[in-house]
Amino acid sequence: MSVVLLMTGNDLIPKLWSGRKIRLSCLGVSQTLLIVVWFGLVSGLVEGWMANLLRQVPGFAMRVSTEILWIAPAFNLVLFLSIGIGIGLPFWLWGKTPHVQLMIGLCSWVTLAGWLLCIGKLHQMASLVLSLGIAYQISRLARSHEQSILSFLRSTLGIVIVAVLLTGLIGTQRDGWHERTLRRQLPQASAGAPNLLLIVLDTLRADHLSVYGYHRSTSPNIDRLARSGVLFEHAIANASWTLPSHASMLTGRLPHEHKADWWEPLDERYPTLAKVLSTRGYLTTAFVANTFYVTPEWGLGRGFTHFEAYGSSLADDAIRTVYGKKLAVHLLPRLGYFDIPGRKRAAQVNQAFLHWLDNLSGRPFFAFLNYLEVHDPYLTVATYQAKFARETTRGDRINSLFQPQAFRRQSVLTAQEIQQEIEAYDGCLAFLDAELGKLFAELERRRLDKNTLVVTAQPGEAA
């Protein structure tokens, strides 16, 4: 057993080492940045392609669009830069530098864990332990091949950057290319064909609408629509939750027929309304706020020339990544934030739909709009949050996103707490109704109200 003196910064640190003598190299700022930038881009590049390729494979819950191809590298680059600065800054402030072995091992662990978590077929703890074991072996390799590894990272960084840029281009343009192709393939529509607008108010209770006798004035605009059209008094959803209920609306089939369920997307055995209308020359489009199950990955995009679900904000982009979602679910509630990160509001759905209408090119359209305003947690803009409430809720009592992950469910609510949740729900409904009123007014201004059939519906999940 020999004693080896290892130089670290300005200090001599005695270390016992068996066999050969090895000097651990230390990293300057530029080398640290090289490592974290390389690993950040590569981890995001691979994650983006994995998520994109697996998103329509049954059994993989990938709620992403093709834009994950640029989102994942961008987010992971920021994440790894933060890790590098967080690890390196204390060393640099004390006039020391972190070891190559430490940075390579840590970045390898974060990268491998992210890939395993993205696939999602191992328990989270198993993924962390397995990736840690592999990363440890990589760090041991780095101890004896430090300069070779740094040289490899330096020589391949340019290739990685080019690959990320090309992949990002595909991610941002693929849907547009696909939509233009589908538009060119549409047959001629019949003259005078009416437009069709299907509005789905996710998790809306009929007994909280004024038109059905509710004691609060929660829905004056929906009431006005009901008075001028046809009101169904005994409409019953075909399922108690989102996916099978929407699948039934779009196919006209019962859940036991189309079989869309928790882990089974809607398959192609039955044509969808969008598919039938597209064969008759209709432009078909969807703008949805429920990105949990109302997405193309769950089979609901079939027949639509345009389907817009993701990318409503930077927050929504971030939670599409593995670590973005983990940080949101486990960190945000502890910071006092209980709303759905990046929740798409009714105004955003309206704006996107009206912008799409500007490019109709004279064809009839079928538009499917999905709103998430009255889905838990019952949080909305401040003026409507307090519209019916004596005391506002912060959204942590009834919260299907955060509670199973970071909090114990509150098994019993007091009568006062139940009343507060009801008041919050009604405030969200009133805000949604106001935004629908703006949409109806704009359709009237564009003279689309005369030749457009408007249908309102709800998917079945009770609030």
Q: What is the pLDDT of residues 277-325, one digit of tens each?
A: 999 999 999 999 999 999 998 999 999 999 999 887 888 889 999 999 9
pLDDT at 12 over 60: no
- What confidence tens digit (pLDDT) does each residue in 200-217 have? 999 998 899 999 999 999
Confidence of residue 8 (pLDDT cuts 50, 70, 90): very low
| Rounded CA separation 369/344 (Å) | 12
pLDDT for residue 228: 87
Place of tokens 């101890």: 143
Most confident of 26-35, 87-96, 179-188, 330-339: 179-188
Domain boundaries, the chain: 2-173, 189-457
Q: Residues near 294 by Cβ (< 8 Å), separated by ≥ 6? A: 200, 202, 242, 243, 246, 288, 300, 309, 370
In the predicted structure, residue 457 carries a pLDDT above the cut 60: yes
Would you place residue 410 in the very low, low, confident or very high pLDDT band (cuts 50, 70, 90)? low
Return the C-alpha torsion angle 406, 430, 247, 296, nearest 10: -60
Which residues have a Cβ under 8 Å from the Cβ of 221 and sit 6 or more positions away? 433, 434, 436, 437, 440
Is pLDDT above 80 for 28? no
Asked whether residue 240 carries a pLDDT value surpassing 90, the answer given is no
CA-wise closest residue to 174 among 296, 282, 57, 61: 296
Q: What is the CATH number of domain 189-457?
A: 3.40.720.10
User: CA-CA distance, 247 to 157, in Å (whole number)?
Assistant: 46
pLDDT at 327 over 70: yes
**What pLDDT is stored for residue 362 in this prediction?**
83
pLDDT of 336 = 87
Q: pTM of the prediction?
A: 0.86
Q: What is the pLDDT of residue 463?
A: 38
Among 5-14, 122-131, 212-221, the range scoring the smallest mean pLDDT is 5-14
Q: According to the model, what pLDDT value does residue 404 have?
A: 55
- Residue 216 CB: number of other CB atoms within 10 A? 16
Q: Could you give the C-alpha distances from 37 to 67, 78, 93, 171, in angstroms and in order?
A: 20, 9, 21, 20
Cα 221 to Cα 210, 230, 301, 375, 433: the distances in Å are: 10, 14, 29, 19, 6
Number of H helices, E strands in the chain: 15, 7
In which band, very low, low, confident or very high, does the pLDDT at 77 lie, cut at 50, 70 and 90? very high
Q: CA-to-CA distance for 271 and 302, rounded, in angstroms?
A: 8
What pLDDT was estimated at residue 3?
32
200-to-19, 34, 215, 246 alpha-carbon distances in Å: 71, 49, 23, 9
What percent of the chain lies above the pLDDT cut of 70?
90
Write the CA distances from 115 to 123, 194, 234, 302, integer angstroms. Answer: 13, 48, 48, 29
Following DSSP, what letter does each residue of 192-254 receive, concatenated? TPPEEEEEEETT--GGGSGGGT-SS---HHHHHHHHHS---SS---SSSSHHHHHHHHHH---
Q: Render pLDDT for 411-426 as a digit per residue (tens, 0 to 9).
A: 678 889 889 999 999 9
The alpha helices in 120-145, defined as continuous H runs, are 124-144
For 9, what's the count of Cα atoms within 13 Å in the CB-facing half-sphere? 10
Q: 23 pLDDT exceeds 80? A: no
- The pLDDT, as a whole number, for residue 409 is 55
In the numeric block, the tokens 């390579």 are attached to 104
114 pLDDT band, cuts 50/70/90, is very high
Q: Tokens for 287, please give them.
A: 């703008």
The yes-or-no verdict on residue 249 having pLDDT over 90 is yes
Separation between Cα atoms, residue 143 and residue 135, nearest integer Å: 12
How much is the pLDDT for 454?
77
Q: Measure Cα distances from 268 to 114, 183, 272, 308 in Å.
A: 32, 21, 9, 21
Q: Residue 383: how many CB atoms within 10 A of its CB?
A: 11
DSSP alpha helix (H) spans, 321-387? 322-331, 346-357, 382-385
- Give the bridge partners for 3, in sequence order: 16
How high is the mean pLDDT of the chain? 87
Q: Can you give the pLDDT at residue 403?
A: 61
The closest of 180, 179, 184, 187 to 282, measured between CA atoms, is 187
Count of Cβ atoms closer than 10 Å to residue 368 Cβ: 25
What is the chain's alpha carbon radius of gyration, rounded to the nearest angstrom?
27
Instruction: For residue 263, give every residue at least 6 positions away whose Cβ sits within 8 Å of its Cβ, in sequence order, or none.
Output: 58, 59, 61
Helix ranges (DSSP H) in 55-193: 68-93, 100-119, 124-144, 146-184
Is 254's pLDDT higher than 90?
yes
Compute the C-alpha angle 255/256/261, nearest 5°: 60
Question: Residue 22: is its pLDDT beyond 50?
Answer: no
For the segment 230-235, the average pLDDT, to the nearest whole number, is: 86
Backbone angles phi, psi at 32, to 5 degrees: -60, -45
